[in-house]
Structure 1
Amino acid sequence: MEIVVCVKQVPDTTEVKIDPVTNTLIRQGVPSIVNPFDKNAVEAALQLKEKHGGKVTVISMGPPQAKDALKECLAMGADEAILLSDRAFGGADTLATSHTLAAGIKKLGKVDIILCGKQAIDGDTAQVGPEIAEHLDIAQVTYVAKIDVEGDKLRIEREQEEGYEIIEVSMPVVLTVVKSINEPRYPTVKGTMKANRKEIPVWTANDVPVVAEKIGLKGSPTQVRRIFTPKQRTQGEIIQADSAREAAALLIQKLSDAKIV
């Protein structure tokens, strides 16, 4: 079974730095981590490999320092890692990102399952996984909470607000997983040492079948026009009274005076 996991390196800080010219996130010099949902995807891939055999390849698009995220995935137990890195990829929105990742996956050849986290914590769009499926013209299932292999098909439990939806799907398929699917394992010392010795190939725009007009900032239909800090809200009023009844009456009176009720 050939399994590919798409991972993203995201900022590990509440301090958001934006390039004032391109209105995109500045990643250089900012502490980063593997997107938490993507760790669940890696763990799901490793569990499938342990149960059914196969190979797990992690792939990411990002700057050179994204190798650190890939090395962590290798330390967890992934077999191979690929970094898609090129100045031409910079400033990509979800559509351009998914086009680039899909091109990298195409170069890998036959793939049975593509796993992604349900969303990245820096953008929270949950769009890249489904868009990869569209670019590759294969099936997709989102919000996956359980994966069972039944012959040449997968039996999926899809998490919903009030329960689970059971779906049977043929491979190849793109699955985006939720946090409840598993508890990601910690990298072992042996795995970390092995990952640090492993050379991670870097593929540029010349190495994968991308369309120049569909990558990076040029290929991104979503663009940020303006960034601003919202005005601070005025503080509310605390109503004090001798009893709850008097406080309620006073609240109703104030709401009435303000013509809210």
Structure 2
Amino acid sequence: MHIIVSIKSVVTEAPRGEIVRTADKSVLNPFDRPALEVALQLKETHGGSVTALSMGPPTAEASLREALAAGADRAVLLCDPALAGSDTLATATALSAGAQYLSPFDLMLFGTRTADSDTGQVGPQTAVLLGLPMVTGTTRIDGPPDRLIVERKVDGFEERYEVATPATLTIHPSAAVPRDPSLGGLASAFDDMPVETISIAQMGLDPSLVGDAGSPTRVLSIKPVKRKRTCQWIEGTPVMQADALVRQLVDKGLIG
């Protein structure tokens, strides 16, 4: 099997103004780690290779090297000034072009969401652009490589699908516990293994379809939320606490 895992280098704190992804404020998206682990387990079961694919500035290389340290065979970074400002649709457009550039493949895996923007849209949008089947929130994968049995749990139901490959899946965080890379793996990934950088020209991608030009949505501002709520402890026995709470609610006019 050839499995592509889409990963993202996410910002660790809300920026004030334009998002600038620097190495000291970026980490591998935690929701992508289970997807990478599932890909590695499938490789160990069926053989083949795992390619980690990301879109971002050069600082995103660090997250790709983490994937290499964990066991990915290849790391590819879609990096081009024209990609700056991409919303989820423009990002999916770039990732679908990247997947086609890396074809053929059997599976393309995504995390369910990202820790910074938290939309959960890129995986399904990429699947639509590729014209491939998609199952979201996958918790288990079984079966032969050409026709997988995929499970997910949603709204109190457990669903099972038969999925012909090539296909795309988003992986629920409960699907796998990510492995810890060894020190030797980290040293090899950061010192010896290459990260390939691909431009939009190499993918044959029209600049008008990505970046600000290809984004129908704009982030107008991002700022930390100011929390105004405070917590008040009511002391005493349960009866005393209940009486004090009722008095406060009556005094505030919340109950009659």
Could you state the TM-score of these two structures normalised by the residue count of structure 2?
Answer: 0.89
Q: Distance in 1 between matches of 2:115 and 2:232?
A: 34
In 2 relative to 1, CA 255–66 (structure 1 residues): closer, same or farther, beyond 3 Å? Answer: same
Equivalent residue number for residue 191 of structure 1: 185
Equivalent residue number for residue 49 of structure 2: 55
Match 1:212 to one of 189, 207, 211? 207
| Alignment of 1:200 onto 2:201 | no
Q: Distance in 1 between matches of 2:226 and 2:8?
A: 32
| Alignment of 1:10 onto 2:10 | yes
Instruction: Name structure 2 gaps, 5 residues minimum.
Output: none
Match 1:66 to one of 60, 64, 70? 60
Equivalent residue number for residue 225 of structure 1: 220
Please report how far the alpha carbon of residue 232 of structure 1 lies from its aligned counterpart in structure 2 after TM superposition: 4.1
Instruction: Name structure 1 gaps, 5 residues minimum.
Output: none
Larger deviation, residues 218-227 vs 251-260: 251-260
Match 1:145 to one of 122, 125, 139? 139
Q: Distance in 2 between matches of 1:170 and 1:153?
A: 4
In structure 2, give the amino acid aligned to 1:207: Q
Could you state the TM-score of these two structures normalised by the residue count of structure 1?
Answer: 0.88
Contact 1:107 1:209 in 2 (8 A): no
In 2 relative to 1, CA 234–10 (structure 1 residues): closer, same or farther, beyond 3 Å? Answer: closer
Structure 1 vs Structure 2 CA RMSD: 2.1
Q: Distance in 2 between matches of 1:220 and 1:151?
A: 35
Please report how far the alpha carbon of residue 188 of structure 1 lies from its aligned counterpart in structure 2 after TM superposition: 2.6
Q: Distance in 2 between matches of 1:190 and 1:231?
A: 43
In structure 2, give the amino acid aligned to 1:212: P
In structure 2, give the amino acid aligned to 1:140: M
In 2 relative to 1, CA 249–154 (structure 1 residues): closer, same or farther, beyond 3 Å? Answer: same
Identity over the aligned pairs, expressed in percent?
39
SS of corresponding position for 1:218: coil
State the Cα deviation string for residues 85-124 of structure 1 (Å, max 9, x = none): 0111112111111110110111112111001111111111
State the Cα deviation string for residues 28-68 of structure 1 (Å, max 9, x = none): 25332211221211111111111111121111001112111
| Alignment of 1:103 onto 2:101 | no
Match 1:125 to one of 107, 119, 126? 119
Equivalent residue number for residue 134 of structure 1: 128
In structure 2, give the amino acid aligned to 1:122: D
Match 2:76 to one of 77, 82, 94? 82
Contact 1:7 1:38 in 2 (8 A): yes
Q: Distance in 2 between matches of 1:47 and 1:138?
A: 22
In 2 relative to 1, CA 221–192 (structure 1 residues): closer, same or farther, beyond 3 Å? Answer: same
Contact 2:15 2:222 in 1 (8 A): no
Contact 2:83 2:210 in 1 (8 A): yes
Contact 1:113 1:175 in 2 (8 A): yes
Match 2:150 to one of 153, 156, 159? 156
In 2 relative to 1, CA 231–70 (structure 1 residues): closer, same or farther, beyond 3 Å? Answer: closer
Task: Say how many residue pairs are matched.
Answer: 254
Q: Distance in 1 between matches of 2:224 and 2:26?
A: 23
Larger deviation, residues 132-141 vs 251-260: 251-260
Larger deviation, residues 187-196 vs 109-118: 187-196
Larger deviation, residues 24-33 vs 174-183: 24-33
SS of corresponding position for 1:135: helix
State the Cα deviation string for residues 160-182 of structure 1 (Å, max 9, x = none): 25352111111111111112111
In structure 2, give the amino acid aligned to 1:7: I
